[in-house]
């Protein structure tokens, strides 16, 4: 677990990317019900503006999702904070993320848990994410370019699995890679309607709970350059 990153003057940001702007974002997260102190501190510290193109950096701390290219998005700050807070409910040690994307959610997880494995099907996005994570000194992350629906079986079981794209149904492979007592957070649905589901693995079987309505890009099969 890296803990909140220590920002160099180069990474601190100014104006719309300054610490004051991050503080205002976290104030809004608290007003929206986010309570986990570690999650709030990581969101306060992590330079979200580094995870979008420079032309969009001034919008990085707004209450919105932002495009990152190739039809993918950087999730709304509240979505990232809420999913991270739910994931931390059982203090996981080993977490699998499906959909590295920009690397921001991955970076948040790396600051909260000891070990993170993250899968991305788009090689260009994975390359950019790897560079950002290295720049921030987050070395407890392991990246793989493959189809996320397969998971990472040779590193299983995981205490938690977090999926950052909406699946039409919950992939069986991911359920099988949960440790006993572990949880899977996954958006399920299509372009018209999606819900966030939490699936907990029990000694015998699984417990499913439908949570909040959400909107994510679709979880696609295969891998691409």
Residues classed as catalytic: 75
The answer to whether the beta carbons of residues 132 and 107 sit under 8 Å apart is yes
Residues 139-148, buried b or exposed e (16+ Cβ, 10 A)?
eebebbbebb
Q: Per the structure block, which two tokens stand in for 163?
A: 């999926």
Q: Give the DSSP H/E element, type plus range, for residue 186.
A: strand 178-189
For the chain, state the CA radius of gyration.
16
142: β partners: 117
Distance, in Å, from the CA atom of 121 to the CA atom of 145, rounded to the nearest integer, reads: 5
Rounded to whole angstroms, how far apart are CA atoms 95 and 107? 12
DSSP letter for 123, please: H
Task: Name the one residue in this structure whose structure tokens are 């996005």.
Answer: 125
């Amino acid at each position: 677990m890296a803990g909140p990153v220590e920002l160099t003057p180069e990474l601190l940001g100014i104006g719309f990317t300054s610490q004051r702007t991050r503080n205002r974002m976290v104030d809004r997260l608290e007003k929206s019900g986010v309570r986990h102190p570690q999650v709030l501190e990581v969101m306060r510290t992590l330079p979200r503006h580094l995870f979008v193109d420079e032309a969009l950096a001034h919008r990085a701390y707004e209450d919105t999702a932002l495009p990152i290219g190739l039809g993918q998005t950087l999730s709304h700050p509240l979505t990232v904070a809420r999913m991270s807070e739910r994931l931390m409910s059982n203090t996981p040690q080993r977490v699998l993320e499906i959909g590295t994307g920009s690397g921001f959610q991955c970076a948040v997880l790396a600051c909260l848990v000891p070990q993170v494995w993250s899968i991305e099907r788009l090689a260009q996005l994975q390359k950019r994410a790897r560079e950002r994570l290295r720049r921030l000194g987050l070395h407890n992350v392991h990246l793989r370019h493959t189809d996320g629906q397969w998971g990472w079986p040779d590193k299983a079981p995981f205490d938690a699995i977090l999926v950052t794209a909406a699946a039409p149904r919950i992939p069986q492979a991911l359920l099988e890679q949960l440790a006993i007592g572990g949880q899977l957070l996954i958006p399920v649905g299509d372009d018209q309607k999606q819900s966030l589901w939490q699936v907990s693995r029990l000694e015998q079987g699984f417990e499913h709970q439908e949570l909040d309505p959400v909107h994510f890009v679709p979880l696609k099969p295969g891998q691409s350059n």
